[in-house]
Amino acid sequence: MSPFTIVLLTLVLVVMLFILVFAAVLLTPFALPLLAFGAPFIPSAGKTVERMLDAAGVGPTTRLLDLGSGDGRIPVAAAKRGARADGVEVNPWLVWVSRRRAQWFGVREHTMFKCGNLWTYDVAAYDVVTVYGLGPIMGKLEQKLLRELKPGTRVVSHAFHFPNWRPEREDRGVVLYVVPERSAAA
């Protein structure tokens, strides 16, 4: 093989590798949620985040969990109010961004971001749960929350409704639910 062919082949390989890495980075936000049966990354607007926290009465005594926490904006905003706030997120890039965001706003100690699947994450310890999901997952999510959360826990959904729960309040796409007693929900 001539030196020219070797250089050409190396160049082709490098370009192919670059395209593969680029495609993986671009596709991760869409492919991972699809594989994990969840919504792709579409961040809630800042004003909506504040409305979600207001709806649930988030303050210094709150223990909040954002299911599918994206870039961490909801837990960080809650922690800025003094809450202890966690997020579970399937996309490792977004978990990294979330931790940097928490650090930037000086609330790293009040937050925890777990890279994982919301369907296997134990939600029992929280008193506020936020979610910006997709219509088709809301029925399955309702069952999980009902099984694991204490009655009285506040659940705030951005944009989508749970099929069987009655909202306590609704304002411009922010829907507040309170987990009912198990007998009442049966």
Ligand X SMILES: C[S@@+](CC[C@H](N)C(=O)[O-])C[C@H]1O[C@@H](n2cnc3c(N)ncnc32)[C@H](O)[C@@H]1O
Containing H/E element for 52? helix 46-56
Site for ligand X contains 119 (CB under 6 A): yes
User: Which residue among 82, 105, 117, 178 contacts ligand X (CB under 6 A)?
Assistant: 117
Q: Are 92 and 66 a contacting pair, CB within 8 Å?
A: no
User: Which residue among 64, 74, 141, 145 contacts ligand X (CB under 6 A)?
Assistant: 74
| DSSP letters spanning 78-103 | HHHTT-EEEEEES-HHHHHHHHHHHH
Total Cβ atoms within 10 A of residue 6: 10
Taking the complex as a whole, the smallest distance from the CB of residue 86 to ligand X amounts, in Å, to: 12
User: Which residue among 53, 55, 62, 69 contacts ligand X (CB under 6 A)?
Assistant: 69
User: Which residue among 53, 62, 76, 89 contacts ligand X (CB under 6 A)?
Assistant: 89
Q: What are 87's strand-pairing partners?
A: 66, 113
Site for ligand X contains 75 (CB under 6 A): no
Site for ligand X contains 113 (CB under 6 A): no
Nearer to ligand X among residue 33 and residue 165 (C-beta) = 33
Q: Are 71 and 50 a contacting pair, CB within 8 Å?
A: no
User: Which residue among 56, 58, 70, 83 contacts ligand X (CB under 6 A)?
Assistant: 70
Site for ligand X contains 97 (CB under 6 A): no
Query: 40 Cβ partners below 8 Å, 6+ apart?
Result: 29, 30, 33, 34
Residues that bind ligand X (CB under 6 A): 33, 36-39, 41-44, 66, 68-70, 73-74, 88-91, 94, 117-119, 132, 158
